[in-house]
Every structure is written in structure tokens, then in C-alpha cells.
Amino acid sequence: MKYYMMSLLLLLAGCSQQGSGTDAVPALGALANAEQCGFGPRPAKPGVLQRYAVGYNEDVCVPLVPADAGIILMGGSTDVDSIFSDKVRPYIQGGNVLVLRTQGAAGYNDYFLHLLQAASVETLLVDSRDKANSDYVRWAVQSAEFIWFAGGDQSTYISNWQNTALQQALHAAYQRGAIIGGTSAGNTILSSIIYNPDGVGSAVSQEVVQDFCDTNIAFSPDFLNAPMLGNTLADTHFKQRDRMGRLMVFLGHHQQHLLTGIGVSERTALWVERNGHTEVFGEHEVYIVRSDQQTMFRQTECAKPVIIDDMLYYTLRAGNHYHLFNHTSSVPPSRLSINGNNSVFYSPANPY
């Protein structure tokens, strides 16, 4: 059945490029109707909801195996093709792809349609709580085999989506076995603690190390509720924007919870399996940062420079692994300290 579906989708993609899908669409429709997932027909779309779609217009039911699903944490800038082709395409078997954002347009549609050999790709601009609570958005989220959160502003994602039907449907999709991922702001909202300055600004390492309670530091609670990302805090554009300092300060705000910081650099992605195993894809590094018995939070008080000694961190490159449950890796860790009293606040001076 899987190979039959894939061949139909390839035929449909080829026909759509030539302007005629008359042979493939009825066959794909028959297959979809034969394997109903029980979500019912597509609800009416609210007139104010912006939708961009390519491919087949109905829900194609694909049997998913939750234990084999994963989460993609991408660091921003150019997307990492290899993680989509290696992890998403064979798993969703020509299923439906949903892209969620609060601004932008259809930039992912053709890219995902062809790279993932998907039956359809739909982008929704869900920029209000009313839209996030609509039956249409609920249906689109819970019926997708792959859900992707585009980059943007995580504060708009949390303010419009937290505690809505969209979030409930996301949890249902996760339980069903959908792959879920995001880049930049779309990555940030997937960890259990979310850096969310709520539109005030963006924390800069050089500034926040000088004041533990900098006004750009704020957090929101878990949005996805994925167990393998429990007690994590994700950050993006990591090496390129020197965000090691700010991630260490963020961890200082949650030192009692022993969080694991996940800093993903641009053009890089981390695949996270449900058993806690991870793998790096792309051009640059992922940094795993956490405290242990040797770490000392010497000064973490408002209006004072931050002093943290001996934070543990791992520099992971393409093909490297880290286990988020037992905190093991074949890559040896390093130690890093910060002192906001100093102009060069890292020790050693270059953490990258």
C-alpha cells in the first residue's frame, strides 16, 4: 500500500507540473476514501483565515507509528533539506503537511510538496485566538502527518495559540504520531520552557550577563508537552548571534529545575526521537548546555552581573548524538564560565 501511494503521489506531482492531474487525482481520491482516519470532512474555512494550499485537497490517511516519530529543532536561516528527506519523507509516506505561522505567505508550499513527495501542503496564517479556536484549524492540525512551525515571532505564537483548539489538536496529532518541527521562533516554542520576551525585544548575551533580570528576559510554559523535551529550553541562530551567554543566563533563571539548554545554529537541525535520542543534521553545530554538581551559580541576582562557573556543554556536529534522558554522548563535554563584570565575559574566551 505504501509504494502504491507513493507512486500515485509522484504521478500527481508530475502531472501538476504539466497542468493535468486527471489520471492521478481519482486514484488518490479512492485511496483516501478507502483509508479514513475518522476526522470527517474538511470544515468550512473562516473567511478571515488566510490559507495557501497546493496538491490534493482531501485528507490522505497514512498509518503512523508514534514510537518512530520525532521532533525537528531547526536553527533558522536556510532550511536543512537532509533532515526532511531522511526523516520526514519516508515516515509520512505521502501524507498531508501543514505549515503554521502568524505572518508571511506560501514560501514552504512548493518546497515541501516536492521534497517530501507529499499529497498536499497547506499553510495557515493563524494570527488571532478566534482563528486558532476555529473548527477548520483544529481539523487541519489534527489530521496532518507533518506539522511545521515557520520562523517569525514566538510571542505572537504563544499569545494567539496557547490554550486554544490549535494547541489541543497539536497534542492530539503528537499522540497520533505526527512529526512536529519548527525553525527559529518555530523551534523555540517546542521546548518545555519557552523564551518569550512578548514583543519587548530580544535578549543579547552581552547585555543580559550584566543584569540577571534584564527586561528582555521572560518565559512561557510548555506549549507542545512532548516528554522527550521535558526540562529543556531551546534557542536558535545560536553561534551566529552569540547566544551562549544568554542561554546560560536563562538556565540560571531555572537552576532549580536542572534544565537542558539546546542551542541550534543556523542551517543546522536536531532530530529528537521519542526515546530521547538525538542526531544533528546540517552545516554547523548544536550546543547542549546544562549544569551538574560542579557548576556554581555564584551570582544570579537582579541588577547585578551574572557569574556562573563551570557550566557543562557539548558541541555537536552533523552525525553526532546526544541522549536527552540519560545525558550521554560520544562527544566529550567542555566547561564554560561567564562573569558579567568582565568585558570578555566568557572563560575560555571563545565558547564556539
Q: What angle do CA 179, 185, 190 make, to 5 degrees?
A: 40
In this prediction, residue 257 carries a pLDDT of: 93
* Largest CA-CA distance found in the chain, in angstroms, rounded: 70
Q: Are 157 and 147 in contact (CB under 8 A)?
A: no
pLDDT at 122 over 50: yes
In this prediction, residue 295 carries a pLDDT of: 98
Distances (CA, A) of 234 to 85, 172, 204, 270: 23, 22, 15, 11
The reply to whether domains 1-190 and 191-352 share a CATH topology is: yes
Q: Share the mean pLDDT of the chain.
A: 92
Q: What is the DSSP string of 307-335?
A: EEEEEEEEEE-TT-EEETTTTB-SSPPEE
pLDDT at 17 over 50: no
CA dihedral 152, 145, 193, 203 (to 10 degrees): -20
Question: How large a percentage of the chain has pLDDT more than 70?
Answer: 90
pLDDT at 6 over 60: no
- Report, as an integer, the average pLDDT of 72-100: 98
Q: Does domain 1-190 bear CATH number 3.90.320?
A: no
Of the candidate ranges 34-38, 40-44, 78-82, 302-306, the one whose mean pLDDT is the lowest: 34-38
Edge to edge, what strands does the sheet with 70-74 contain? 50-55, 120-125, 96-101, 146-149, 179-183, 70-74, 268-273, 277-282, 321-323
In this prediction, residue 29 carries a pLDDT of: 54
pLDDT in tens, 261-278: 999 999 999 999 999 999
Q: In the CATH scheme, what is the code of domain 191-352?
A: 3.40.50.880
What are the residue ranges spanned by the domains of the chain? 1-190, 191-352
Is 4 or 236 the better-scoring residue by pLDDT? 236
pLDDT at 18 over 90: no
Percent helix, strand, coil in the chain (nearest 5)? 30, 25, 45
Give the chain's count of helices (H) and strands (E).
12, 18
Q: Are 228 and 272 in contact (CB under 8 A)?
A: yes
In this prediction, residue 174 carries a pLDDT of: 98
pLDDT at 103 over 60: yes
Beta strands at 321-323 and 277-282: parallel, antiparallel or unpaired? antiparallel
In this prediction, residue 28 carries a pLDDT of: 54
Backbone angles phi, psi at 161, to 5 degrees: -115, -25
In this prediction, residue 37 carries a pLDDT of: 79
pLDDT in tens, 179-234: 999 999 999 999 999 999 987 789 999 999 999 999 999 999 999 999 999 999 99
- Report, as an integer, the average pLDDT of 276-303: 98
Question: How large a percentage of the chain has pLDDT more than 90?
Answer: 86
In this prediction, residue 36 carries a pLDDT of: 62
